[in-house]
A and B are shown apart, each in its own frame.
Chain A
Amino acid sequence: MEVPTTEHLTGPTPAMPQQKRTRVKRSSSSWWYHTANWLGLLPFLLFCLIFEILPALMLLQGSFNDNQGAFTFGNYQHMFAQSGTIHAFETSIELSLVSAVISTILGFFAAYGVYRLHSNWLRNLITGFSSLTANFAGVPLAFAFISTLGVTGFVTVLLRNVLHIDLYNLGFSLYNFWGLVLTYVYFELPLMVLITLPSLSALRPEWSEAATNLGASNLTYWRKVALPVLMPSLVAALMLLFANAFGAYATAYALAQGGINLVTILISFAVAGNVSIDVGLGNALAMGMVIVLCLAVSLYTYMLRRASLWQGR
């Protein structure tokens, strides 16, 4: 059991005073039981408080403070007035959404391909490889793409020498929007494959059998049965990928070196003490990010709950 301590979290239980009136002895032990219950969570709650909750609260407070610590809406006005910061939000959202949509669609079909594979070892190999590449992100990933599609990258040079196609003359660049999309898709695609596989396995064979018995074609089965059942999981996956891309900093930083205007890059200027962004504005930008991400994560949890309705998980 827990070691008795004097400090405890706020509010044991509302039921406590009522019980006290009826039976004194039992109520004191039940009061102790409830307090002990919460006390067991104390280390974890305290850890989350000082390393997770308080930083977030401080950002909220700081976003309403000016340099002298007085209350102001100035940071937000600043944020909405500058075309640069608005543009950064647009670019970040666009980049995350485009890469998430591409990964969701391609990843879904690829996952279907894995699901239809008959050989077990091949399926395991692909799943393992997917979890490997899904974890391969950040600086190394950026370097891998520079080695592949950078100006002197292997594929760029190969195309130029063998097929006489010069990607960079055709307007392609790894260091702008589409280059980043290509790089983000690299770790989002395998992630999508991994999170879609369980949902696909949850499709019951009976459903397709029943549909076929009732004369449904393959296409009708997918349109009327499988896709509606899978839709919540797909939207949840899309939101997860979006949130993942929206918060990403290392990949964009290592690839474009501040050459692309993203919210995460602007916030890093504020952290590093760069003069172009003061800390108040940085706080406001961070709050903006948190709000967008909260929307995505709420939709994600809501859709997961919807998905569990059909998939019994």
Chain B
Amino acid sequence: MSTQATQINSARPRQRGLHNLNVGKILLFLVMLYLLVPLAATLVISFTGSPFSVKAYSDLFTDSNLWTTLLLSLGLGIGSTILTVVLITPTAYWVQLRIPRARPLIDLLTLLPFAVPPIVLSLGYLEVYGDSHTWISILSLGLVPLLSNDPFNIVNTPQLLICAYVIIALPFAYRPIDNSLRALNTRVLAEAASSLGCGWWRTFLTIIIPNILPGIISAALLTFTTAMGEFTLASLSGIYTFSVYLDETGQNDPYKAAALTIVSFIITLLCVLALIFLARQRGASKKKTGNIEIAAAR
């Protein structure tokens, strides 16, 4: 085993010449430089003053709007994360166990948000929840009229944003959960549990969930980052979230803009660090299978 590995390692550089190796590495270096420079420049600008100043930051942190919007975005993030996990995990398990026939349908539904970007979605919500249409009411089994009138009116509320974020994050959230379910021998586990007298929910909560936790964690964090940073829907439905505040404040003051960028970078950093840390901790026994999944942020 180990001799084989060393053989391959020593054989590698010989086979593929020095030429190729350099192109890849030089480009990698340039790409990393390209990714680092804007961050460094923003950091410098955010401390610009005479000659060093934390004024941009002290102005920001005393602005109560920062904290209220941050709190709102945090709430939206947590809300959509919980809803995503609660909605997707049982569904993915159910599809895997009971109705594999529905897989193409579910795949289509989870892929569709790629084709319906947030900007299109916001126009669609305006149409659906704007005026009442008979065929919409019938097709939605009466749910749309229920949701667009009191007492459950969700039009242009944070609740609608949460639901929209679940949809936007669907492609990134469904895949990790589904992948970890596929890696698991779900049927055997469920049958073993059932033959030992374990009910459906108990099997699901105490056997399946702990086994697919890495997938759930990465789905949750990806949903959370998406919801925290989303701008399009929030700004167009007039909800004052952190990214809307960021845009509004930053357009008038370049120093505050830089400082806010750093703040939001740190938030993203924390999320990604949590993702890597948790994935590593859970996936330690399974080698490198717990690779970090990524979100395509907009």
Q: Could you tell me which A residues sit within 8 Å of B by CB distance?
A: 1, 7, 36-38, 40-41, 43-52, 54-59, 62, 106-107, 109-110, 112-117, 126-141, 143-150, 152-155, 185-187, 189-191, 193-195, 198, 205, 208-209, 212, 218, 221-222, 240, 243-244, 246-251, 253-254, 257, 264, 267-268, 270-272, 279, 282-283, 286, 289-290, 293-294, 296-297, 300-301
Contacts and interface: CB of A to CB of B under 8 A. Distances in A.
Given A41-B102, A243-B115, A244-B296, A143 B261 contact: yes
B156 to A, nearest CB: 11
A54 B144 contact: yes
B297 A54 contact: no
B136 A139 contact: no
B44 A138 contact: no
Given A43-B91, A132-B269, A147-B38, A286 B120 contact: yes
Contacts, number: 313
Interface string B254-298: 100110110011001101110110000000000000011011111
A297 B44 contact: no
A56 B116 contact: yes
B175 to A, nearest CB: 12
30 contacts: A40-B91, A49-B140, A52-B167, A54-B140, A56-B112, A59-B124, A110-B31, A128-B272, A128-B273, A128-B292, A129-B35, A133-B35, A135-B229, A139-B247, A140-B264, A143-B258, A143-B261, A144-B41, A146-B257, A147-B257, A148-B42, A154-B42, A191-B296, A247-B119, A249-B231, A253-B247, A286-B124, A289-B120, A290-B120, A300-B114
B2 to A, nearest CB: 16
Given A109-B23, A128-B292, A243-B114, A267 B123 contact: yes
Contacts of A152: 254
Interface of B: 8, 11-12, 15-17, 19-21, 23-29, 31-32, 34-35, 37-39, 41-42, 44-46, 87-88, 90-91, 94-95, 98-99, 102, 106, 109, 111-128, 133, 136, 139-141, 143-144, 147, 163-164, 166-167, 170, 200, 225, 229-232, 236, 243, 246-247, 250-251, 254, 257-258, 260-261, 264-265, 268-269, 271-273, 275-276, 291-292, 294-298
Contacts of B11: 205, 209
A44 B28 CA distance: 42
Nearest to A156: B41
Given A140-B260, A147-B41, A244-B296, A293 B115 contact: yes
Contacts of B296: 134, 191, 240, 244
Contact of A131 (B29, B232, B272): B272
Given A109-B23, A109-B27, A218 B16 contact: yes
Contact of A52 (B116, B127, B136): B116
A51 B254 contact: no
B123 to A, nearest CB: 5
A177 B11 CA distance: 46
Q: Which of A48, A117, A193 lies at the interface centre, i.e. has the most chain B CB atoms within 10 A of its CB? A: A48
A146 B101 CA distance: 50
Contact of B297 (A59, A116, A137, A264): A137
Contacts of A222: 20
B24 A112 contact: yes
A301 B31 CA distance: 28
B232 A110 contact: no
B191 to A, nearest CB: 15
A117 B122 CA distance: 44
Nearest to B247: A139
B127 A55 contact: yes
Q: Which of A132, A189, A209 lies at the interface centre, i.e. has the most chain B CB atoms within 10 A of its CB? A: A132
Contact of B99 (A37, A150, A264): A37
Contacts of A114: 28
Given A55-B125, A147-B254, A155-B41, A135 B294 contact: yes
B28 A247 contact: no
